[in-house]
Amino acid sequence: MNFMLPLKKLNRLSYMALCSVVFFVATSVLYFILSKLVDKVVGSSFGSAYHWMHPYSFIMVFAVFFMITMLVLGRNKKIVHKNIFYFIFYIFWIVLSLVFCGLLWSFYDMNAGYFPQGYELLKKIFSDMFYGLTWGGLAILGAIPFNLLVFAVSFFIIKNYRAYINNNS
């Protein structure tokens, strides 16, 4: 019995999962290589740096939302011009990823000992999600050349996924 599926027999969901895994592996390898070349790959010296201590979990958040964004927007035929599709895809993907990276940041913060009680817990979680959106965006902008390389990897994967969807519709 052959347990390996040829790529042409993958369904849409399996292909999205494969694209997400390829994205995670490629960006993790890029991060590993760049972290050996430079001191800090992502962000600056503001505050505690959970994204430096646990970079692969934050990359995983981006990979999961990469797959979710492909699921939501991948078959959208109403977006006629492909450049508009890429713009919407990146905005949707980055905003969702940053919000949930803020949530992950909040969990790491609580694991480190700052665990408020009652209403303050929800207030902290939601404020950290907002901070993930604002400060996380600044960390991404400051992560040159990593952000440009991740953009190139994601663009290549999205382009291949769109071709897969158009050929198998």
Q: What angle do CA 74, 105, 42 make, to 5 degrees?
A: 75
- Taking a C-beta distance cutoff of 8 angstroms, is the pair 28, 56 a contact? yes
Task: Sort 110 into a burial class: Cβ within 10 Å, 0-12 / 13-18 / 19+.
Answer: middle
pLDDT in tens, 86-131: 888 999 999 999 999 888 888 888 887 777 888 888 888 888 888 8
User: In the block, which residue shows the tokens 């977006």?
Assistant: 79
pLDDT of 25 > 50? The answer is yes
- Taking a C-beta distance cutoff of 8 angstroms, is the pair 126, 3 a contact? no
Tell me the pTM.
0.83
Structure tokens at 134: 């604002």
Which is nearest to 11 in space by CA: 119, 149, 165? 165
Report which residue type is found at 40. Answer: K
Alpha-carbon distance of 159 to 153, in angstroms, equals 10
pLDDT in tens, 43-66: 444 445 666 677 888 899 999 999
Compute the mean pLDDT over every residue in the chain, rounded to the nearest whole number. Answer: 80
